[in-house]
């Protein structure tokens, strides 16, 4: 039951990320994806770090920078570039291919066995997502496709390396998420200034949207994600990412008046089934081998041997 609870809490992260499109389209300034990336990551990272009251030490300064660059600094801009150059459905399918990267990297770097059934679950899940988000009008753009593939690979590598490096002593998931978000936000700032210029003027709706993105969509979500990586296998965690495009489709239908066709509904069922199956086939992390207990008595003699030794000692004592 504990593992089920951890999976359920970790799943809240991609569910929250599925609301990003609706919030951005309804509340945030248009055409400012990098500024939005900074507003999502940097304030949330500073807040989590302040709450954790722990700063990186020693090698964790550069490790946090690497993880923040992979999970946030590279992932956000590449994801936005893919979304701008491709229809949303194509970008979402490329994101759903992320588990395949993680399966390979986890086998290479973590020793997690790349089971055929795990690969099949990831492929079926991506197929289900494609049925939900792809349309007949979807066009292809080489730069957009490359950006989408690299963004998925970047997030996958960040997930695996977070699992591989673990956490330093005295630092919990809150601190780890805070360090990564802060580092990632700092990476995006110069790109945002060069590409988009000065920050836009914000109204009440924008403040509401950015507040949600910072606190819930990023701060809380990434804390749950990092916490899940620490307690589940990397493959199990990344397979939950398929919930993000499915949540976006449900919000589009429920809140934005977007219709769902029978094919899309079938695709949602397939993707949800693959997500659940993924938690079964990926399995729980292998526990560390416990050392065998050492006997307090290094030698053991039979009862007859003990009796003979005692008699010899007594005889020796009498002779003395």
In the chain, the percentage of residues whose pLDDT exceeds 90 is 36
Between 253 and 289, name the one with better pLDDT. 253
* CB crowding 6-39: b at 16 or more within 10 Å, else e: bbeebbbbbbbbbbbbbbbeebbbeebbbbbbbb
Between 21-30, 150-159, 250-259, the lowest mean confidence (pLDDT) is in 250-259
Structure tokens at 26: 């309804």
The more confident residue out of 163 and 145 is: 163
Contacts 24+ apart (CB under 8 A), 267-270: 267/127, 267/128, 267/129, 267/130, 267/131, 267/132, 268/128, 268/132, 269/128, 270/124, 270/125, 270/127, 270/128, 270/131
Task: Kindly report the average pLDDT of the chain as a whole number.
Answer: 81
What integer is the mean pLDDT of 168-187? 94
Does the pLDDT of residue 308 top 80, yes or no?
no
CA-wise closest residue to 10 among 178, 231, 169, 294: 231
Q: Which residues contact 84 (CB under 8 A, 6 or more apart)?
A: 33, 144
Q: How many CB atoms lie within 10 A of CB 63?
A: 19
What backbone phi and psi angles, to 5 degrees, belong to 198? -65, 155
Per-residue pLDDT band for 106 (boundaries 50, 70, 90) equals confident
Residue 46 has pLDDT above 80, yes or no: yes
59, exposed or middle or buried, with CB in 10 Å at 0-12, 13-18, 19+? exposed
- Over residues 116-120, mean pLDDT: 84
Sequence-separated (6 or more) residues with CB below 8 Å from residue 71:
154, 155, 158, 159, 162, 180, 184, 222
pLDDT digit string, tens, across residues 10-44: 999 999 988 887 888 889 888 888 998 999 999 99
- For residue 65, is pLDDT > 50? yes
pLDDT at 112: 78
Q: What is the pLDDT of residue 180?
A: 96
Region of poorest pLDDT, from 36-40, 77-81, 135-139? 135-139
Q: pLDDT at position 288, please?
A: 46
């Amino acid at each position: 039951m504990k593992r089920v609870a951890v999976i359920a809490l970790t799943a809240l992260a991609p569910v929250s990320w599925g609301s990003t499109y609706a919030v951005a389209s309804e509340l945030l300034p248009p055409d400012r994806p990098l500024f939005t990336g900074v507003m999502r990551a940097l304030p949330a990272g500073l807040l989590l770090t302040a709450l954790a009251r722990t700063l990186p030490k020693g090698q964790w300064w550069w490790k946090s920078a690497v993880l923040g660059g992979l999970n946030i600094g590279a992932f956000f801009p590449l994801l936005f570039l893919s979304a701008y150059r491709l229809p949303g459905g194509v970008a979402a399918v490329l994101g759903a291919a992320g588990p395949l990267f993680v399966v390979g990297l986890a086998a290479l770097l973590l020793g997690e066995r790349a089971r055929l059934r795990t690969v099949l679950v990831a492929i079926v899940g991506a197929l289900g997502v494609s049925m939900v988000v792809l349309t007949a009008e979807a066009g292809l753009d080489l730069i957009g496709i490359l950006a989408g593939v690299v963004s998925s690979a970047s997030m996958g590598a960040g997930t695996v390396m977070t699992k591989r490096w673990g956490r330093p002593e005295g630092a919990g998931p809150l601190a780890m998420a805070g360090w990564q978000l802060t580092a990632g936000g700092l990476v995006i700032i110069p790109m945002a200034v060069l590409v988009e210029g000065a920050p836009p003027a914000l109204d009440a709706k924008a403040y509401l949207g950015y507040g949600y993105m910072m606190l819930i969509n990023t701060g809380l979500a990434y804390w749950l994600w990092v916490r899940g990586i620490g307690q589940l296998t990397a493959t199990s965690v990344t397979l939950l990412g398929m919930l993000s495009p499915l949540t976006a489709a449900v919000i589009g239908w429920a809140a934005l008046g977007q219709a769902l066709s029978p094919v899309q509904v079938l695709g949602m069922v397939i993707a949800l089934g693959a997500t659940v199956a993924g938690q079964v086939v990926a399995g729980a992390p292998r526990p560390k081998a416990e050392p065998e207990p050492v006997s307090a008595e290094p030698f053991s003699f039979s009862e007859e041997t003990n009796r003979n030794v005692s008699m010899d000692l007594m005889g020796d004592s009498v002779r003395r």
